[in-house]
Structure 1
């Protein structure tokens, strides 16, 4: 029941954010709060990010197929658009927030993209062994670890043999002054400062053990800035090839 309560809490937060300021909630640029992202600017950041990620995947010697990609925690669709522009034949964008998905359907022009609401702690709408690439960034960090780890297990259920799964996850609050201040704040205060967004981390060794338990391996755990200056974070590139 704990996981069900967790997903209900996360869903309420992101449904509210998706109603109020969806593009800013996905990409919290300080100057874009108050619905100041234009769809064109917002989607362009997704194209650039996916280009960088696929470049890194290729540099590691990995070549996933381009038939189907999964964008988990797709929000308003910026990375789904980037994956479609990168040549994936089908892009499945999954999110727990109906308001975020409504914005994605409104602004994403690509016919390759299909958006589906996640209603439970699994990816029941996605077939086993059906996806070439899974990508998730700025998503798992907002979930309690047990819920986030459950979704990582689902990534590897839906991934085909030879697939690549790339996901970002914080490890711990950073040792910077900002990180030390964050660690000292009561959880409720920190959450209010982030408009209801929670932040959670998992130590890298624990993530590596999780991936290995699923029959996959971590090819790279790159330092990553997606969680902001108050957190240490990693971008994990994993494969079962």
Structure 2
């Protein structure tokens, strides 16, 4: 199946395929000191295990206990969070990405039999069986997509999760009201994009995300403040539960 340019995916795929070729681990987890191949696979994957442990701890605080069956890591990149989900005991982890070069790196550095990395070229996520996942998780991914495309993916998450399963996703809200955020607002969009090596940033106000989740028939369990988008953006981690059967 080809990439439909009308969705905005074509440009996203082109950017992340290039970044996956140039410096895949840094592109997934940007750190000035790690640019130019500074991440080792062990260090990189360890951050994913820590993030997933934190996520599962937060779910437990909310009284949520996803079955450790199939987890989907959307926008898996070089496999950081897929590895973390496998380490946490999920028996099957489907890592989805639009970039062949990112998936190549994930298959190279992730040695976990539970992980199955798949190329996802369309916003319907039809490479994953409907109602098959116990947990869908994505972080630092939707923020790099045009808003309507990101929302299409969120709708797709609720098609691939089981009734009563959990969908957890991070999304920026708006540029931060601090010096860094004000500086960002002042930059022309093309310049801001060049400074981020082609990575776009987009946000949706929390009210818009709540409406989207309600449209999908899901329950919002939490909208936690989050720092994944960096100091220039406000961001939330949304913890949701799909409608029961």
Q: Which residue does the alignment assign to 1:198?
A: 200
Q: Root-mean-square deviation (CA), in Å? A: 1.2
Residue 72 of structure 1 aligns with which residue?
A: 74
2: CA distance between counterparts of 1:198 and 1:28? 14
* Selected match of 1:7 from 6, 9, 13: 9
Aligned CA distance change for structure 1 residues 2 and 114 (closer, same or farther; 3 Å): closer
Report the Cα offset of residue 3 of structure 1.
6.2
SS class of match (1:123) = coil
Tell me how far 1:31 sits from its aligned partner.
0.6
Q: 1:2 to 1:15 in 2, by over 3 A?
A: closer
Equivalent in the alignment of 2:228 = 226
CA distance in 2, matches of 1:118, 1:141: 17
Deviations 1:150-187 (A, max 9, x none): 00000000010110100000000000011011011111
Does residue 98 (structure 1) correspond to residue 100 (structure 2)? The answer is: yes
| More deviation, 1-10/96-105 | 1-10
Q: Which runs of 5+ in 2 are unaligned?
A: none
Q: Is the 8 A contact 1:3 1:146 kept in 2?
A: no
Look up the match of 1:207. 209
Q: Is the 8 A contact 1:208 1:217 kept in 2?
A: no
Q: Distance in 1 between matches of 2:4 and 2:106?
A: 29
Aligned to 1:126: 128
Give the CA deviation at 1:91.
0.1
Deviation at 1:21, TM superposition (A): 0.2
What is the match of residue 63 of structure 1?
Answer: 65
Specify which of 14, 21, 24 is matched with residue 22 of structure 1: 24
Total equivalences in the alignment: 241
CA distance in 2, matches of 1:179, 1:203: 15
For 2:68 and 2:59, how far apart are their aligned partners in 1? 13
| 1:40-61 per-position Cα deviation (integer Å, ceiling 9, x unaligned) | 0000000000000010011100
Instruction: Output the CA distance in 2 between the equivalents of 1:165 and 1:205.
Output: 18
Q: Secondary structure at the match of 1:109?
A: coil
CA distance in 1: counterparts of 2:68 and 2:110, whole angstroms? 19
DSSP 3-state at the match of 1:63? coil
Give the Cα–Cα distance (whole angstroms) in 2 for the partners of residues 122 and 76 of structure 1.
22
Please report how far the alpha carbon of residue 4 of structure 1 lies from its aligned counterpart in structure 2 after TM superposition. Answer: 3.1
Query: Are residue 82 (structure 1) and residue 84 (structure 2) matched?
Result: yes
- Which residue number corresponds to residue 38 of structure 2? 36
Deviations 1:97-153 (A, max 9, x none): 000000000000000000001111220111111000000000000000100000000
TM-score between the two structures when normalised by the length of structure 2: 0.96
Unaligned runs of 5+ in 1: none
Shift of 1:20: 0.2
TM-score, normalised with respect to structure 1: 0.98
Equivalent residue number for residue 182 of structure 2: 180
